């Protein structure tokens, strides 16, 4: 048992990891003999295999990552010379004697980050005049620039959400990590439930939901267009069995499913795909391009596979043009076959998802993306059981205000809350504790609520679904 638990803490070939240097992260896959670029350097990750996650490495010349030393050097707290304040320090930009070229030379000589920092200190004419605090700040700043330590981390929602928010916030609709944290908790995402997810945040939210499900229960991803987007989901490096719980269902078939007229039988495959295309130009284009991509890949495979056939053909047919025609025919046949296999797989997956959705008893709904939330939630809530939470993320407040109004009109929801979180980091140092100087301006908004049984026709007109009506209707000032 012990071995297994250590195993998943050890970096293996093929693992999805996150590289970290200071506060910069990058998700990569560990592959031998493959170079990876990170922080303006090319790196070989071969030497990290077999090490524990969380290990820090020094970048050696050539981009290889060196295994860590057994005892990391801790700066001895020497009582160095320091000044009292900065009244006599003139910032003329000339206090550092080393030039850029000098530093480059030092780097080429193989000096480690810490040693370079030491050189900078020794060649600074004002260093000893700075106050102790200023000296510490200076050292920290130089370390940040010259220290070439990279840590290899195991992916998690925390790390990936931090990474995406720092690197490519546009891809995740500017979802800040604390907002994502709220969504997962408000949505009561946990093992064993059946959650519907609509995610156009590169699949980050989907991955976060899957992490909290732990491979138990099921997740159904509703997607627009031809294929679900899961770039970020892959970065989590989930084990194979997690993907068995992940299903997908195209938005363009939702109405058919709700009407009960969705048929995914083999024979009627043609009609379904025709409906597919008629249900929106959007769904057609990406589907085509994806299929084209698939064909390109297949083409490469086929040329390798076709060669033995070509060899036998060469014996029989002398003419090169005939040979070419037959090759092309064989390739086309293979392509058509592969396309059929893919379509069959897709159909099966949709059937599985439809079966899960049909019961209209999902345990939760999570929506995050650049689509207008109102139509999404009004439609997808139909698949959710009563007394279950739902969470909608939007970068902007106004669409959620409209959504709130429409949900009130619809009824069948309580506890509607429109909120955002305010996040602030602190620097905590003796006599220097204060909030950070820069703060996130915004992290998006969340509309959350709980489903309840829909009101049957007996309820009287403008009753608020929020509060059960008292015997006497009081006229209140305009509330939604």
Residues numbered 194 to 213 that lie near another protein (CB under 8 A) are 211-213
Q: How far is the CB of 195 from another protein (least distance, A)?
A: 11
Among 79, 261, 316, 433, binds another protein (CB under 8 A): 433
Spatial CA neighbour of 96 closest among 141, 148, 59, 58: 141
With binding defined as CB under 8 A, does residue 334 bind another protein? no
Spatial CA neighbour of 178 closest among 443, 380, 450: 443
Q: What are phi and psi of 335, to 5 degrees?
A: -60, -45
Q: Identify the helix (H) or strand (E) that includes residue 324.
A: helix 320-358
Q: Restricting to residues 252-291, which ones interact with another protein according to CB under 8 A?
A: none
What is the sign, positive or negative, of the torsion defined by CA atoms of 160, 165, 168, 171?
positive
User: Quick check: 4 and 12 in contact, CB under 8 A?
Assistant: no
Count of residues binding another protein (CB under 8 A)? 76
Binding segment for another protein (CB under 8 A), chosen from 25-33, 75-83, 183-191, 293-301, is 183-191
User: Quick check: 385 and 363 in contact, CB under 8 A?
Assistant: yes
381: Cα within 13 Å, side-chain hemisphere: 27
Among 333, 405, 409, 473, binds another protein (CB under 8 A): 405
Return the number of the residue (251 or 377) whose C-beta is nearest another protein. Answer: 377
Return the number of the residue (4 or 281) whose C-beta is nearest another protein. Answer: 4
**Six token digits for residue 431:** 């006599």
Binding segment for another protein (CB under 8 A), chosen from 84-92, 179-187, 268-276, 349-357, is 179-187
Q: 177-186 vs 204-213: helix axis angle to the nearest 10?
A: 50
Q: How far is the CB of 387 from another protein (least distance, A)?
A: 3
**Six token digits for residue 222:** 């509703």
What is the sign, positive or negative, of the torsion defined by CA atoms of 172, 178, 179, 180?
positive
With binding defined as CB under 8 A, does residue 132 bind another protein? no
With binding defined as CB under 8 A, does residue 387 bind another protein? yes
With binding defined as CB under 8 A, does residue 225 bind another protein? no
- 149: which strand partners? 58
Q: How far is the CB of 447 from another protein (least distance, A)?
A: 9
Q: How far is the CB of 15 from another protein (least distance, A)?
A: 15
With binding defined as CB under 8 A, does residue 399 bind another protein? no
Binding segment for another protein (CB under 8 A), chosen from 220-228, 256-264, 274-282, 423-431, is 423-431
Return the number of the residue (47 or 279) whose C-beta is nearest another protein. Answer: 47
Among 59, 175, 184, 251, binds another protein (CB under 8 A): 184
With binding defined as CB under 8 A, does residue 385 bind another protein? yes
With binding defined as CB under 8 A, does residue 47 bind another protein? no
Q: Restricting to residues 92-121, which ones interact with another protein according to CB under 8 A?
A: none
Q: Give the C-alpha distances (Å, rounded to integers) separating 91 from 69, 221, 241.
A: 38, 57, 60
Spatial CA neighbour of 185 closest among 165, 157, 159: 157
Return the number of the residue (341 or 469) whose C-beta is nearest another protein. Answer: 469
Long-range residue pairs from 316-319, CB within 8 A, at least 24 positions apart, any chain: none
Q: How far is the CB of 55 from another protein (least distance, A)?
A: 5
Return the number of the residue (184 or 246) whose C-beta is nearest another protein. Answer: 184
Among 40, 424, 472, 474, binds another protein (CB under 8 A): 424
Q: How far is the CB of 156 from another protein (least distance, A)?
A: 5
Cα separation of the two ends of the chain: 57
With binding defined as CB under 8 A, does residue 24 bind another protein? no
Q: Restricting to residues 143-172, which ones interact with another protein according to CB under 8 A?
A: 156-158, 161
Burial class for 187, CB neighbours closer than 10 Å (0-12, 13-18, 19+): buried
Binding segment for another protein (CB under 8 A), chosen from 287-295, 308-316, 326-334, 379-387, is 379-387
Chain centre to alpha carbon of residue 46: 25
Return the number of the residue (74 or 87) whose C-beta is nearest another protein. Answer: 74
Q: What strand order describes the sheet that includes 445-451?
A: 246-250, 218-223, 194-199, 364-368, 389-394, 445-451
With binding defined as CB under 8 A, does residue 31 bind another protein? no
């Amino acid at each position: 048992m012990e071995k297994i638990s250590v195993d998943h803490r050890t970096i293996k070939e093929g693992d999805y990891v996150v590289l970290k240097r200071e506060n910069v992260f990058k998700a990569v896959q560990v592959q031998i003999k493959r170079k990876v670029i990170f922080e303006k350097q090319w790196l070989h990750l071969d030497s990290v295999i077999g090490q524990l996650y969380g290990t820090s490495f020094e970048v050696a010349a050539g981009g290889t990552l060196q295994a860590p030393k057994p005892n990391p050097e801790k700066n001895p707290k020497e009582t160095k010379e320091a000044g009292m304040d900065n009244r006599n320090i003139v910032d003329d930009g000339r206090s550092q004697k080393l030039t850029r070229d000098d530093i480059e030379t030092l780097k080429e000589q193989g000096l480690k980050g810490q040693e370079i920092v030491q050189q900078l200190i020794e060649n600074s004419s004002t260093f000893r005049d700075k106050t102790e605090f200023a000296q510490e700040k200076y050292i920290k700043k130089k370390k940040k620039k010259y220290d070439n330590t990279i840590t290899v981390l195991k992916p998690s929602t925390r790390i990936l959400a931090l990474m995406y928010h720092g690197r490519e916030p546009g891809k995740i609709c500017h979802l800040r990590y604390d907002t994502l944290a709220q969504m997962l908790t408000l949505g009561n995402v946990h093992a064993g439930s059946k959650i519907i997810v609509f995610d156009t945040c590169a699949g980050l939210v989907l991955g976060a939901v899957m992490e909290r499900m732990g491979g138990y229960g099921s997740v159904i991803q509703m997607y627009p267009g031809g294929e679900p987007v899961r770039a970020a989901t892959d970065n989590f490096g989930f084990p194979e069995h997690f993907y068995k719980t992940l299903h997908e269902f195209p938005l363009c078939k939702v109405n058919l499913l709700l009407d009960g007229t969705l048929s995914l039988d083999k024979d009627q495959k043609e009609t379904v795909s025709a409906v597919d295309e008629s249900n929106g130009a959007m769904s057609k284009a990406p589907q085509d391009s994806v299929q084209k991509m698939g064909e390109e890949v297949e083409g490469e495979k086929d040329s390798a596979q076709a060669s033995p056939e070509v060899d036998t053909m060469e014996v029989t047919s002398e003419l090169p043009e005939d040979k070419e025609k037959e090759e092309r025919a064989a390739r086309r046949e293979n392509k058509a076959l592969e396309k059929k296999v893919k379509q069959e797989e897709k159909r099966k997956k949709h059937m599985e998802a439809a079966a899960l959705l049909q019961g209209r008893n999902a345990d939760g709904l999570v929506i995050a993306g650049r689509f207008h939330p109102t139509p999404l939630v009004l439609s997808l809530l139909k698949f959710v059981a009563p007394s279950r939470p739902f969470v909608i993320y939007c970068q902007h407040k106004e669409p959620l205000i409209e959504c709130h109004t429409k949900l009130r009109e619809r009824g069948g929801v309580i506890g509607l809350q429109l909120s955002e979180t305010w996040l602030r980091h602190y620097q905590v140092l003796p006599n220097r504790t204060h909030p950070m100087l820069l703060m996130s301006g915004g992290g998006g908004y969340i509309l959350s609520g709980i489903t309840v049984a829909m009101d049957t026709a007996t309820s009287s007109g403008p009753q608020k679904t929020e509060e059960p009506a008292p015997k006497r209707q009081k006229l209140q000032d305009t509330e939604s």
